[in-house]
Amino acid sequence: MSEVIVALDFSTEKEVVRFLRDFHEPIYTKVGMELLYAYGPQIIDVIQSLGHQVFLDLKLHDIPNTVQSAMKNLARLEVDMVNVHVAGGSKMMEAAIEGLESGTRPGMQRPTCIAVTQLTSTSQEMMQNELLIANSLDEVVLEYAKLAKNSHLDGVVCSVHEAKAIHANCGNDFLTITPGIRLANDSVDDQVRIATPVYAKEQGSDYLVIGRSITQSENPLETYQNIQKMLSV
Ligand code: C5P
């Protein structure tokens, strides 16, 4: 089943609350660094007190010990999903899971932990010339996904076009979280490798991260409900 995560890419708490006012049923939201750094963890309380789930998209990347301690603190916020960069290595990813487990209240489930393989802003050229990685982008994404799986993470952020190969190599239980979703009539904005919700579902994407197609639409609730309908067929 494919689920929608709405990216709350707003710059003020007021805009977040105004946007969520129409959503009476719980939804899965994504809070990124802009919002968290501007408002602190209270913004998570605000969203959770309205009954919504939170994917806290901070993409941690540091030495294992620091990531472990940071994840312990993030688990205490009782968010539903967090993430790291695969580039931090297997020890860092294992430390992230340990931190989350130690910060989770007894009897509660630890937050789902996923990893970023390569940012969508990274091109093949940039990877080779600046990061000195000679393999193709597709190979790197797949190998990074396998490393995340072997480090006990729950899944990866990837493009819709990579979801199938990742499931084939890492199993269907290994989650694929895919941004870059656009509705048929939308503008592409700054996304490059885009896909429609139905195509994302067909490719086996577990979570579709959708921002502007919903938040900037004339009637966000209606757009959200229409996407849900498309995915439930
Ligand atoms: O507005 P749009 O649907 O393009 O928003 C997609 C969301 O997913 C944004 O919050 C963006 O930062 C995030 N994201 C992405 N590509 C990645 C990782 C995260 O677009 N590789």
Ligand 1 geometric centre to CA of 60 (Å): 16
Mean pLDDT over 25-44 rounds to 96
Q: What is residue 100's DSSP assignment?
A: H
Residue 82 Cα to ligand 1 midpoint, Å, equals 15
Q: What is the pLDDT of residue 233?
A: 84
Please determine, for residue 111, whether its predicted confidence score (pLDDT) is greater than 80: yes
Q: What is the mean pLDDT of residues 149-154?
A: 98
Q: How far away, in angstroms, is 182 Cα from ligand 1 center?
A: 11
Whose CA is closest to atom 11 on ligand 1?
179
The H or E element containing residue 190 is none
Least confident of 47-56, 103-112, 175-184, 187-196: 187-196
What is the pLDDT confidence band of residue 185, given thresholds at 50, 70 and 90? Answer: confident
Average pLDDT over residues 183-200: 82
- Tokens standing for 101? 């487990």
pLDDT at 221: 97
Give yes or no for residue 193 having a pLDDT over 80: no
pLDDT, residue 1, reads 82
Mean pLDDT of 215-219: 95
Cα gap 88→61, rounded to integer Å: 5
Q: What is the dihedral of CA 145, 148, 149, 152, to 10 degrees?
A: -170
Enzyme catalytic residues: 59
State mean pLDDT over 85-97. Answer: 98
Between CA 186 and CA 203 the distance in angstroms is 20
pLDDT digits (tens, 9 = 90+) for 6-21: 999 998 999 999 999 9
Pick the residue whose CA is nearest to atom 8 on ligand 1. 179
* Domains and their CATH numbers in the chain: 3-232 (3.20.20.70)
Q: What SS3 class is residue 56?
A: strand
Probe ligand 1: pick from 9, 61, 181, max atoms within 8 Å of CB?
9
Nearest CA to ligand 1 atom 13: 179
Q: Which of 141, 161, 209 to mutate to test the pocket of ligand 1 (most atoms within 8 A of CB)?
A: 209
Q: How far is the CA of 219 from the centre of ligand 1 (A)?
A: 20
Percent of the chain with pLDDT over 90: 90
Of ligand 1's atoms, which has the minimum distance to the CA of residue 210?
3
Task: Please give the pLDDT value at position 119.
Answer: 87
Confidence of residue 57 (pLDDT cuts 50, 70, 90): very high
pTM over cut 0.75? yes
pLDDT band (50, 70, 90) for residue 121: confident
Q: Which residue ranges have their beta carbon within 6 Å of ligand 1?
A: 7, 9, 32, 119-120, 157, 179-181, 189, 191, 209-213
Q: What is the pLDDT of residue 231?
A: 96
Is it the case that residue 187 has pLDDT exceeding 80? no
